[in-house]
């Protein structure tokens, strides 16, 4: 018996497929229409944010113009607010100044400022901030020398195999030496200067035969090396003198003032665990193997009124190994932030600082009236002193993160790049240079009869004070972005 195969109707399946296709198409169309509706809102928000950021940036430029003027911005403010509710284009801008050193509103003498401009446009708020340096550089103002690996108010001597190098992974930037007296370089240092690997800044009228040098512009007035302020301690421990015998360990947990000498015999250790000032009014003598050990991240200032003699000793963090008779190499040094440690003077002594026989100092050496000798030893940080000598196998490892990027070194480079004074060898002769300098100084100086009035002959006309600033934030966190980019480059091996 033959059964005929029954065919099922296909119309229902086809209809189902059509319905699914229509639903998919409808979903896509609705999504596209919704995206079109949102695109207008997103575009409007982006435009408002961009306009607000531009207004905030204009606020920073306006603040810089005020700082360049003779307007009394140090005192003419309300809790740091320079402008509030100020109209720029279609936005409302508020500008505030804060002293970067104290975290308080500006005062007479403020020169390093945190500037923040906040702009609001149609309910959209954007902020731009910068670190600004004001450069009057007169006798009463402390200049920012953080961009110099070495600052010598007198003579600078680099001999033998002594080198000025960069600390690896500390960022890009030139290694800059400043010498207001005679510069004498031999060996590797002379070749580094001649090749441009080291940059030299000198005062006007001082020539250099060791390669191209950059002239510190005299339009900013006299540049001195002021004494680091040392308060008279009324708290903490005060003792007559301190002598640590061989191998002895002494812990310091707070401020310590020594009216006499600090002498550390072989392998003695002075361990500083908290932020403090160590003041030695006499001499600091550290013999072979002795160390002033500072915990990482602890800010310490070591002020010495007399001579310093380090012989195979260490001032810095705990080191994994010791060196004797030879300079420390970077691979042997445990890194620490050199800005956290300062070795400076008490008062303004004309003392002698001798760092020799494989010694190591991590930090800033600030000795206005002192002669500093680094012999077969290493400084990880920077040096500012009167006469500076690096001899034999000495090493100065400059960490570019110490550079504020708004100091005298950058201002000097800026003036040199602009070539306003035609001081290059292919520029004007010395008489034409002198004439150009005089004309430039006259142009920048404010006439004595000029008064700060508005709107005619206002402060924006007479702006004699150099100011430069570095962006900190413009809508987003610029510092964080740069840090992350540098970390990623290090991981990929893309950064030298």
Closest to 55 (Cα-Cα) out of 1, 5, 126, 113: 126
Secondary structure of residue 418 in the 3-state scheme:
helix
- Specify whether the backbone of 247 is left (phi greater than 0), alpha (psi in -120 to 50) or beta: left
Q: Widest CA span of the chain, in angstroms? A: 128
Secondary structure of residue 469 in the 3-state scheme:
strand
- The tens-digit pLDDT sequence of the chain (496 residues) is 555 555 555 556 666 666 777 777 777 767 666 555 555 555 667 778 888 888 998 888 888 888 877 677 887 778 888 888 888 888 999 999 998 878 899 888 788 889 999 999 988 899 998 888 887 555 454 567 889 999 998 999 999 899 999 999 888 788 999 998 899 999 889 999 988 889 999 887 665 555 567 887 655 444 556 544 544 544 567 888 899 999 999 999 888 999 999 999 999 999 999 999 999 999 999 999 999 999 998 999 999 999 999 999 999 999 877 665 567 888 889 999 999 999 999 877 789 999 999 999 999 999 988 999 999 999 999 999 999 999 999 999 999 999 887 777 877 776 676 554 444 444 445 555 555 455 444 444 444 444 333 333 444 455 667 777 777 666 544 455 556 666 666 666 654 4
Please return the burial class of 465, using the count of CB atoms within 10 Å of its CB with bins 0-12, 13-18 and 19+: middle
In the beta sheet, which residues pair with residue 345? 304
Q: Burial code of 142-167, b = ≥16 C-beta within 10 A, e = fewer?
A: bbbbbbbbbbbbebbbbbbbbbbbbb
Per residue, the 3-state secondary structure of 76-120, as one string, reads CCECCEEEEEEEECCEEEEEEEEECCCCCCCCCCCCEEEEEEEEE
Q: How far, in Å, are 102, 127, 231, 237, 374 from residue 328 at the CA level?
A: 36, 45, 34, 33, 12
d(CA 466, CA 9): 90
The full DSSP string for 117-139 is EEEEETTEEEEEEEEEEE----T
Secondary structure of residue 407 in the 3-state scheme:
coil
Q: Contact at 8 Å (CB) between 364 and 381? A: yes
Q: How far, in Å, are 144, 294, 401 from residue 170 at the CA level?
A: 19, 21, 6
Q: Which residue has the tokens 């508020």?
A: 94
Q: How far, in Å, are 63, 108, 463, 467 from residue 450 at the CA level?
A: 21, 22, 11, 20
Residue 70 is predicted with a pLDDT of 67
H-run or E-run covering 189: helix 187-195
Q: What pTM value is reported for the model?
A: 0.64
Q: Tokens representing 261?
A: 């000498």
Closest to 401 (Cα-Cα) out of 134, 144, 167, 198: 167
H-run or E-run covering 46: helix 11-68
């Amino acid at each position: 018996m033959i059964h005929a195969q029954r065919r099922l109707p296909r119309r229902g399946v086809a209809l189902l497929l059509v319905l699914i296709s229509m639903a998919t198409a409808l979903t896509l169309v609705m999504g596209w229409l919704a995206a079109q509706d949102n695109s207008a809102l997103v575009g409007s928000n982006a435009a408002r944010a961009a306009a607000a950021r531009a207004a905030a940036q204009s606020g920073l430029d306006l603040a810089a113009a005020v700082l360049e003027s003779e307007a009394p911005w140090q005192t003419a403010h309300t809790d740091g607010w320079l402008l509030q509710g100020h109209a720029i284009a279609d936005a409302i801008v508020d500008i505030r100044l804060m002293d970067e050193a104290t975290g308080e509103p500006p005062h007479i003498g403020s020169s390093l400022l945190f500037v923040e401009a906040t702009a609001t446009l149609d309910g959209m708020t954007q902020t731009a901030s910068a670190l600004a340096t004001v450069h009057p550089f007169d006798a009463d103002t402390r200049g920012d020398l953080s961009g110099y690996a070495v600052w010598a108010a007198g003579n600078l001597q680099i001999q033998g195999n002594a080198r000025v190098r960069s600390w690896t992974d500390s960022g890009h930037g030139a290694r800059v030496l400043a010498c207001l007296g005679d510069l004498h370089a031999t060996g590797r240092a002379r070749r580094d200067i001649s090749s441009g690997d080291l940059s030299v800044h000198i005062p006007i009228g001082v020539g250099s035969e060791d390669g191209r040098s950059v002239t510190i512009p005299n339009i900013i007035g006299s540049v001195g090396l002021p004494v680091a302020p040392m308060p008279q301690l009324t708290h903490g421990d005060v003792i007559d003198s301190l002598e640590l015998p061989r191998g002895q360990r002494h812990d310091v947990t707070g401020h310590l003032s020594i009216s006499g000498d600090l002498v550390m015999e072989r392998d003695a250790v002075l361990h500083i665990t908290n932020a403090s000032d160590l003041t030695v009014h006499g001499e600091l003598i550290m013999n072979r193997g002795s160390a002033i050990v500072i915990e990482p991240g602890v800010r310490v200032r070591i002020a010495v009124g007399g001579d310093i003699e380090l012989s195979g000793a260490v001032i810095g963090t705990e080191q994994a190994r010791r060196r004797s008779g030879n300079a420390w190499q970077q691979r042997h040094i445990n890194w620490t932030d050199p800005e956290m440690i300062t070795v400076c003077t008490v008062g303004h002594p004309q003392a002698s600082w001798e760092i020799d026989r494989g010694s190591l100092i991590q930090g800033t050496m600030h000795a206005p009236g002192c002669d500093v000798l680094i012999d077969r030893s290493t400084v990880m940080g920077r040096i500012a002193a009167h006469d500076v000598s690096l001899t034999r196998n000495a090493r100065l490892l400059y960490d570019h993160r110490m550079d504020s990027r708004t100091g005298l070194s950058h201002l000097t480079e800026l003036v040199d790049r602009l070539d306003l004074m035609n001081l290059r060898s292919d520029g004007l002769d010395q008489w034409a240079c002198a004439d150009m300098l005089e004309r430039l100084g006259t142009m920048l100086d404010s006439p004595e009869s000029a008064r700060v009035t508005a709107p005619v002959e206002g402060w924006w006309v007479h702006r004699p004070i150099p100011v430069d600033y570095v962006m900190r934030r413009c809508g987003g966190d610029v510092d964080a972005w740069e840090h992350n980019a540098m970390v990623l480059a290090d991981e990929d091996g893309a950064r030298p």
